[in-house]
Amino acid sequence: MITIVVKQQIPAPLEQVSQALLAHAQLDRFFNADIKLLKSEDVGELVGGKGAIRQISIGKIVFNEEIISASHEHVCYRIVGNWPVSNHQGDIRLTPYIAPQVKPEVTTLNGDKASTNIEYLIQFTGPRWLPDFLLKFFVGRDIKNAMKKLALHFTTEYSLKSQVNKEKSA
């Protein structure tokens, strides 16, 4: 069993980060894959949440992922079937983090500096013909890069909003 854990602080409120992670058709902004929504969430669930199925294409490798559960604090998904890996489960845990050291342009409604801590845990069994250390390296690198892109997305978004607000105030 391969286990990968990636932690990242995102300069945005928890609800906005979870919404970005559940916007399946736009995940290719962060992940190095083409992603297409095949089935929407179940009735009464968060948009993009439980029951949603997305198709992931990485080169010629194509597989489906199903959202098992979703809230603003936790997204759980799995690969449908046993290919390209088996026994797969991804858990993304989000926790709010408020501290005065966070970039000043990211604020909550009451003026506090807001960000979200993400802990991204993936567990799976790789194919016998591919060494675990190699698969762990490549999947881990892709997840780390995706989380950095997610953080940059919000850093850029908030910087632009802050700049527009400053120009309006002037």
| Enclosing domain of residue 68 | 2-169
Average pLDDT, the chain: 88
Q: Give the chain's domain count.
A: 1
Confidence (pTM): 0.84
Reading the block at residue 128, the tokens are 């016998």
- Contact criterion met (CB below 8 Å) for 108 and 149: no
pLDDT at 82: 87
Reading the block at residue 18, the tokens are 């979870």
Arithmetic mean of pLDDT, 65-94:
96
Would the pLDDT of 133 be above 60? yes
Cα 141 versus chain centre, distance: 14
> Distance between CA 71 and CA 160 in Å, rounded?
28
Nearest alpha-carbon partner for 62 in 81, 47, 76, 48: 81
CATH number at residue 41: 3.30.530.20
Arithmetic mean of pLDDT, 55-73:
96
Q: Which residues contact 91 (CB under 8 A, 6 or more apart)?
A: 74, 75, 76, 120, 121, 122
pLDDT at 157: 61
Which has the minimum average pLDDT: 25-29, 80-84, 159-163? 159-163
> Distance between CA 33 and CA 36 in Å, rounded?
10
